[in-house]
Each structure stands twice: as C-alpha cells, then as structure tokens.
Amino acid sequence: MPKLTYNEKTFLLDGKEIQLLSGAMHYFRTVPEYWEDRLRKLKAAGLNTVETYVAWNIHEPEEGQFQFEGIADIVKFVKTAEKVGLHVIVRPGPYICAEWEFGGFPYWLMTVPNIKLRCFNQPYLDKVDRYFDVLFEKLNPLLSANGGPIIALQIENEYGSFGNDKQYLEYMRDGLKKRAGDMFLFTSDGPTHSMFSGGMIDGVFETANFGSRGYDAFNILKEYQPKGPGMCMEFWHGWFDHWGEEHHTRSAASVVESLEEILEQNGSVNFYMGHGGTNFAFYNGANHNEEIYQPTITSYDYDALLTESGEVTEKLYQVRKAFEKYVDLPEMVLPDPLPKKAYGKVVLNEKAELLASLEQLSQPQYSAAPLTMEEYGQGYGFIVYETTIKGAYGKQNLTVQDVHDRGQVYLNGEFVGLVDRISGKSTLEVDITEKETKVQIIVENMGRINYGPFLVDFKGVTEGVRLGNQFLFDWTVYPLPLTDLSKLTFSNQTAKEEHPYFHRGTLHIEEVADTFIDVSEWKKGVVFVNGHNLGRYWEIGPQQTLYVPAPFLQEGENEIILLELHHHEKEVIFKDTPNLG
C-alpha cells in the first residue's frame, strides 16, 4: 500500500525518498483513444506522475444525472496511468479554474435558490456533497490507501486567490478525509502572502503555483510552512490564449532555467500543462479583467510538453535533459508518432438557415420577459429570443440589456447589427416602419468565466430588451444547445450574408488519421464532424485551424457541418499541420 508522506526536506513514498516529477493532463480534453499515447510520452519526458483536475460539469451535466463514460471515464484514465507506470495526483475541486467553462462548475448550480459559491453556504455544500459521494465511489478503489495509483488529493483550488473562508476549507478537508480515508491531502496557491494566508488549512500540506522565480516562491512558502519539501503544483511553462490575442509561447531555454531553480532546491514539480488538449464543444472558459470579458479559444495547446495533437516538442527533450542532471531516468521510450493527413478541400454545397430551422432544433418556450439561458434549463450553445413590436414608431434605440455574450439582431428578417459584451455595445438605432415588427436576437454563450470575482456569469439576455425606455414583453424563446443536428433539412439555397447558416459537405477518406480543418477564410462559427462538436472558430484568431482527432473520423464518408454566423464561403481545407497563430 504505497503512501505519500514527507520529512523536513523531501517526499517519501513507502518510506523511500521521491522527487515528484509530474505533468498535468486533463482526461476531459483528450479523446480516450489517445490517453495511453499521451501518458507514455509524458513518462518518456522523465515524469513519474500525472496530475488531473476533475470537471464537475462533465460528470453531472444536469442535476442528478451522472456521467462517467467515454471522455468522462476518469476511472479508465487513472487505470491507464497506472498501466503506463505513473503515479496520479487528483484535484477534484469542486472548483478547478483550468480555463474550463465556469471553472468546472455545472451551469445549473447558478439556479439553486440562495446559493453562494465557494464558501460555507449550505445549498452549495449540499450539491457538492452529493456529487463527491458519487465521485469518490468511483475513485476509492484507485486511492493509494486501497492499493491504487492515486497518491494525493487537492482540497479546493487556489482558494487564496478567491476568498478566506476557513470554515469552508475545513469542511472540504473533513469531507475528503471522510470519503478518502488516510490520503495525502494538499492545497495550492500563488506565492504571495495574501494567497497563502487565505488558502492554507491547518494540518494540510501547501504547495505553490508559479512560472519563474522559484527561489522567491519557495522562500515565501517556507515562511508559512517551514518544514517539508517545496513543490510547485502548477509550473506555468506555457500559457493559454484568448480570442483576439497573440498565441503564447515560451522558449525551452527559459523554461529549463526556471525549472532548474526548482530542482536545485530538491523541489518537486507539476508541469502545467504536460499535455493541454482541446476545449471541445462549448467548454472553453473565459476571464474578466474587471474591464472586459475575455473568452478562451478552442485549442488548449498551452505550449505544453506535448502539442494539442500529442506531438513531442523540443521543450520536452530539453526538460528531460534538465531532469537527468538531478535524477536517474530510465531509457527514453516513445510510442510511434500518430499519423497526420492533409485530406485537402471539401466543398460545403448544402445549407440550412438557422432562423428557418428553429422548430427542427428546439422546443420553443414562452415567458413574459426574456430570461437567462440557465432559467430556460440550457447550459451551452446559442439561444434565440423572439417578440413582436406593434406600432410604426419610426427611428428608435433598441437596447439589449445586458447581453452575455454576443447577439445578432434582426427586424422582420433583416440584420440590423451586433450587440456584444466585449465591445460593450448594447444599443442599435433602428427604424420601426411596419405596423408589426418581428424582433429576433441570436445570442451566443461564448463561455462562462472560470476565474476571479465575476464567476457567476448568467448567459443570454440577462436583464431585458427595450425600445427607448420601454421594455418589451411577450417572448418566444428557442434554446439551441446544438447537441443534435440530425433533424436539419439541407438544400442548395443561396446563403444571405450576416445570417447564420449550417453548411454541409462530405469528406471521403480511405485511411483515418489526425487532421486539422482550416477555417481561416470563414468568419465566426462552430464545426461539427460526424456529430462531434470540435469547438469554435473566429477570424480574429489567433487560432486558424481546429484539431480533428482520428477517432472522430471513419473510413469512407464523413459528414462535415459548419455553423457560420456571418460570411459564407464554399469550402474548407483539411491540412496535416495546425495554425495556432
């Protein structure tokens, strides 16, 4: 029964000294067919451990409906890590940040009466307890206390960056002890006095998160935890991207320099990320810097040791060389590279207009005032609000108050403009010339905030819609989670600019391989391959291709569907290399 402990200077596993060399990999960002490939490559880098968050919204997408299959099969992931020969660190949250939608919280949590997140609030704790009871039924056989590969569990996540509710942290600690027994528990926080003070719990091991200045970070940590080894639980050797920003990279030389500051102190390290993966579907998160909303892109490449599609990087080789100065490593054994294919052009010659397909995609709901997406029981995707203005009022200001996150507005089927959270534009000047004017607003949820003080992030029209000072009532609403497009009726119609259309074509292949769909000629939308939602694209970049893992494809015919919101082209190109900007 391997047990992780520590003395004044080092970790001990079964009483033997161990320097934890770990890499983060989130099972929910990589297709299960590739878990073993990625884990073997991380082990080849010299790592002896893999760390993963647990995303609550993957496992309980709707309240009381639990999911642990496919990409949510955390048991299989942990067992695969054990098969490869890696120890496992699990960070179960319930909040995980991770640039993941709502920091891993399920959307429905916001609809619970009187709930307050991440504090000693009984409605919140009741939901966490029910989820943890189910989760740990799955994890318990895999804990080191029961002979499994999981050697450590994190309590909450970087709590010192959010709050200082010690009663809450102690409740979370006691809950893990009750469910997991005699396991090594820890917390992790940024290396500042306020973060350590807010995030630490009496009797629980603390770790630090940083990307450089390892001596300074560990010195501050020692002020709060004088005895024990230093561990960087999140070594930020890369970074994530927001839409409209530059693609972030960091040189291998810079990474190794900062890594050696950790290793020279006999510190342990968890590379964030070892393998980043992909924010498939609508699971990307967002930030808010107290001025603007910043949604995260689909790729979570993170400039990690492995690329988004699992390629070994030069950084990985240089990191292994750095490890070899401090620890004895087994021979480097890499699995064969996975094939990549450039399948070429696919013509998308069939179309279905979104606004003409609402009845095929959705069951309409009715409310006096426009409600949020969550209040209609919808978590992700798009939502269409529709009402009628009676009276020819002439030129007026139409205000969508407050749109989360981006709305396309139509009057009697004609596009009149965009309202969106990023620019802050909420009002359009319109001319109401007919006795009856149909108003339609297509709102995109671009990802809930995953970090900081604005975590509670309702989507859709969050306050109301008004003409001048007069609020509009009597709404028909179409939730569009876009989980099933099979009822769409396609034809060879001509697409109108600034109107959303689904475009469909067929990719014929003889041999299945990873590939990348180039959407750089299109403007903004979502891509589906054989029913799998690859995620979003947007012309503002930096990302210009979307990763298509081979398990999403099949020999023969493959259905390709793009939902393009604005500008309509005729084809896409499948390439064998990505373009992340």
Average pLDDT on 7-35 reads 98
* Residue tagged active-site, from 51, 101, 206, 234: 234
Q: How far is CA 148 from the centre of its chain?
A: 28
In the three-class reduction of DSSP (H, G, I as helix; E, B as strand; rest coil), residue 322 is classed as helix
When pLDDT is averaged across residues 17-35 and rounded to a whole number, the result is 98
Question: How many other C-beta atoms are found inside a 10 Å radius of the C-beta of residue 324?
Answer: 12
Give the strand order in the sheet containing 436-444: 365-367, 475-480, 382-390, 436-444, 406-411, 414-420
CA separation for the pair 450, 293 (Å, rounded): 11
Give helix then strand counts, H and E, for the chain.
10, 32
What are the tokens at 477?
Answer: 């609403």
- Each residue's pLDDT tens digit, 330-382: 999 999 999 999 999 999 999 999 999 999 999 999 999 999 999 999 999 99
Task: Return the pLDDT at 538.
Answer: 98
d(CA 103, CA 539): 26
Is the pLDDT confidence value at 1 over 80?
A: no
Q: Are 373 and 480 in contact (CB under 8 A)?
A: no
Instruction: Give the pLDDT score at 438.
Output: 98
Average pLDDT on 30-52 reads 98
Q: Kindly state the tokens that stand for 497.
A: 């600019």
Residue 2: per-residue pLDDT: 80
Domains of the chain: 18-324 (3.20.20.80), 344-353+488-575 (2.60.120.260), 358-480 (2.60.120.260)
Please state, in angstroms and rounded to a whole number, the distance separating the CA atoms of residues 428 and 418. 8
Label each residue of 28-68 as H, E or C. HHCCHHHHHHHHHHHHHCCCCEEEEECCHHHHCCECCECCC
Instruction: List, for residues 146-201, the tens digit of each pLDDT value.
Output: 999 999 999 999 999 999 999 999 999 999 999 999 999 999 999 999 999 999 99
Residue 404's CB: how many other CB atoms inside 10 A? 23
pLDDT of residue 15: 94
Catalytic residue among 158, 350, 386, 444: 158
Average pLDDT over residues 479-484: 98
Query: What are the tokens at 362?
Result: 């959705």
**Overall average pLDDT of the 501-518 stretch:** 98
d(CA 423, CA 292): 8
pTM score: 0.98
User: Residue 234 catalytic?
Assistant: yes
Average pLDDT over residues 531-548: 98
Does the annotation mark 261 as catalytic? no
The pLDDT of residue 251 is above 90: yes
Specify the pLDDT at position 561: 98
Instruction: Name the burial class of residue 511, with classes exposed (0-12), middle (13-18) and buried (19+) by CB atoms within 10 angstroms of its CB.
Output: exposed
pLDDT at residue 288, rounded to an integer: 98
Reported as a pLDDT band with limits 50, 70 and 90, residue 450 is: very high
Strand 350-353 vs strand 231-236: parallel, antiparallel, or unpaired? Answer: unpaired
In which element (H, E) is residue 215 found? helix 214-224
Amino acid code (one letter) for 342: A
Decide if pLDDT at 551 tops 70. yes
Q: What is the dihedral of CA 69, 75, 77, 80, to 10 degrees?
A: -130
- 416 pLDDT higher than 80: yes
Q: What is the pLDDT averaged over residues 546-574?
A: 98
